[in-house]
Chain A
């Protein structure tokens, strides 16, 4: 009897296999079965298989910003039951600034079918489903098909279908399921924090985290989801959707948490976040160019080497003169011990500033600011104050007045000039101005550090600072070097005065950066402040000279101090006006490049165009040098034209959360970063921080070929 059933079942399967897929226009659809039959009272999975034309997609249960999920309407023999579609984890499908959730290429959507207990083995039943789905690319086409599959009723457990059994089983296994996760959400200001904790997330390295909500109104699908790790789970910061604008905020939020190719079903309730869901910063980016998978030791070593190399980057040009002046002051007759103290003071200034900047950056990032390394130079008041400082240093070097010559310790001259405090200050200024640039080795380690807990991050920054300060400190410890410098004399005065000019240049450069950030009106402000500061310096110098003659020019000193303070205050308050949203960089007349936006990049990549992306900033001298010496040259421009490469410029001169997020995606926290996307997709090639024409031309050629 059983034997007969098996033969009947075999015959039935043969008929089922004859049901050819139906081409509905942009996909072909068919019903397929996990097993070769179904036993009475048992459940089997039948799936809708969609083979979708390249470039087209169908939708998940929440279609996202537009679209409509696939639907199945079953017609079953009496007593038979069909469940809902078991939805596999979808993909994000960006359409311009919108995001849809759905499937491309090939997908099976399983449905549980339950046979009645009184089904007769040997019986062949037909399951019918009216499938309707929206297939979209640039446009959407509603398509439908009436599908059917014949399935034999078998006495015992049915054998796996040789063609579809495995695929459906794999789909079912990968389908998001509840995993004992506790999820809670809470509106926090303009955002919604979704905290998720539980065993699968405990201490795990997480990547590619994304929350797909079941309901299309709870979050803004297109907005980035910020992820922070905690010891027991993670917290996602989501942009609330329409539901939160209504009278009653949602009380529950269901969805799928996808990470690292795994996915869990999550049912969140409204309430305060559980402990352990945050505090460890964002997860390390995966597949980031060089930044991923660095250990603390490697990152620290990279940072140290990067710090050393930073001394050779064009970024330090502005402060080179200050260092030289400082070194010369300690040269010649100075005691070796004194020179060392000065060197150490410089080192301490550099290290303290590195740690302070890093600490501030970590703090601000934790508070939600979308910023990266070099953030201080993205603030117009900071740039303006630095420009004035450079001017003050230059005026000091020119001899207009003397820093470090206090009214009490009058006339002690060169010995007190540039005292320990001065060295500390030189070190601090060097870091504030030069460190924002990314040197080779440095990009990956800083990018890594900012994804780590504070202690590890600060270790990396400390290593960076040590590397940066090392050459200068070492020089002061090197007896031969100082001995080789000529004895102090009139040459030193001339040398200092000559060194003033690079400092004037640095002030002018910062004024340029400021006008790019804050427009032309800022130019008037900084110039007036500069003149007032120069006046203050001149008055201070006069006061110092009169004090040297034994007078007490209290009024003069107070007036100079007042003017100096007024100059500083004038560039800090009131706040600078925002310049227009367009790319702030000096626009090239030939328009060889386009302003960067993630949408534009995605669009060009979808069109199969090779793309060169230049992440740059006016305050990054290395970027400017690369730009002028390599990228803007005729040979590179011609190669771009010949290879039909689109040149996108991402200008980070001003604060920009979008660019900061893009940099983070490549494990970076600063500029420069050069990416070359090939015509045939895939990951971009990351070019080195110091470009040569050969490197760029080879990369462009490779990109054009794919």
Chain B
């Protein structure tokens, strides 16, 4: 009798075992809080009612360079900002890693590449990356006015490092933002992200 009660309790608990939560399309976008390059704390809450783009980037990644060196990313940012979209660039890199930038370095980087991002989040503890399971730089996410995750994936359909591949590419983020601007559901809400891996664990310095 007693044993049975114990077994039933154990069985109930095992059945209720929660699965690991991954970011889910059309569900409320994972909340986050991070410091930007000016030292200001930013959270998704701050931008309630607005469309928010999250863009993972790394200055050490040739794929991010493909989009910045060509001006492709900045053009997309400028267009989005003109439409009232909030653009948050996320730099996930542990301190002391090759890719880590201090806030001052990020300010300089932002000026150098002429970024139009609303802010650059310094995700040095990878909390934002973990919440979104960000895999690559670039990896793009769009949150709609109601706070739901409506796009996740690549920036375009050319998963190549070669800058020449930009020509004739279909930019999924531009299409999704156009859909949202017109209050249409996003036609292509999930695509394959591509690029360098997001740096979660502390790694040895370059070459070491």
Give chain A's interface residues, CB within 8 Å of chain B.
65-68, 95-98, 100, 132, 134, 136, 138-142, 190, 216-217, 220, 242-243, 245-246, 352-353, 356-357, 360, 364, 367, 369-371, 375-376, 378-382, 385-386, 389, 425, 428-429, 432, 572, 575, 599-600, 602-603, 606-607, 655, 657
Contact = CB atoms under 8 A, between A and B. Distances in A.
Contacts of A134: 62, 161
Given A66-B135, A190-B19, A428 B161 contact: no
A428 B198 CA distance: 51
Contact of B9 (A371, A385, A389): A385
Given A138-B203, A245-B24, 12 more contacts: A68-B161, A96-B200, A96-B201, A134-B62, A141-B62, A242-B152, A242-B190, A245-B25, A367-B15, A379-B10, A572-B9, A606-B204
Interface of B: 2-3, 5-7, 9-17, 19, 22, 24-25, 60-63, 97-99, 130, 135-136, 152-153, 159-162, 189-192, 194-204, 206
B99 A139 contact: yes
Q: By DSSP majority rule, is chain B's interface helix, strand, loop, or mixed?
A: loop
B14 A375 contact: yes
A248 to B, nearest CB: 11
In the A-B complex, the 6 residue pairs with the smallest Cβ-Cβ separation, listed nearest first, are A96-B200, A66-B197, A96-B201, A379-B13, A142-B161, A369-B14
Contact of B192 (A217, A375, A425, A606): A217
A688 to B, nearest CB: 29
Contacts of B190: 242-243, 245-246
Contacts of A246: 189-190
Contacts of A657: 17
A139 B192 contact: no
B14 to A, nearest CB: 4
A376 B60 contact: no
A190 to B, nearest CB: 6
A65 B63 CA distance: 14
A138 B203 CA distance: 7
A245 B152 CA distance: 10
Could you say which of A242, A360, A370 has the most chain B C-beta atoms within 10 Å of its C-beta?
A242
8 contacts: A97-B130, A97-B200, A138-B206, A216-B192, A243-B190, A379-B13, A382-B10, A382-B13
Contacts of A364: 11, 14
A96 B62 contact: no
A381 B10 CA distance: 8
A353 B194 CA distance: 53
Given A242-B153, A428-B2, A371 B162 contact: no
A386 B25 contact: no
B10 A376 contact: yes
A478 to B, nearest CB: 28
Contacts of B62: 134, 140-142
Given A360-B11, A364-B14, A385 B6 contact: yes
Given A96-B201, A140-B61, A356 B7 contact: yes
Contacts of B204: 138, 606-607
Contacts of A66: 135-136, 194-198
Contact of A67 (B6, B14, B162, B197): B197
Given A386-B6, A428-B2, A381 B197 contact: no
Contacts of A96: 197-201
A603 B97 CA distance: 13
A385 B3 CA distance: 11
Contact of B203 (A369, A380, A603): A603
Contact of A139 (B12, B19, B153, B206): B206
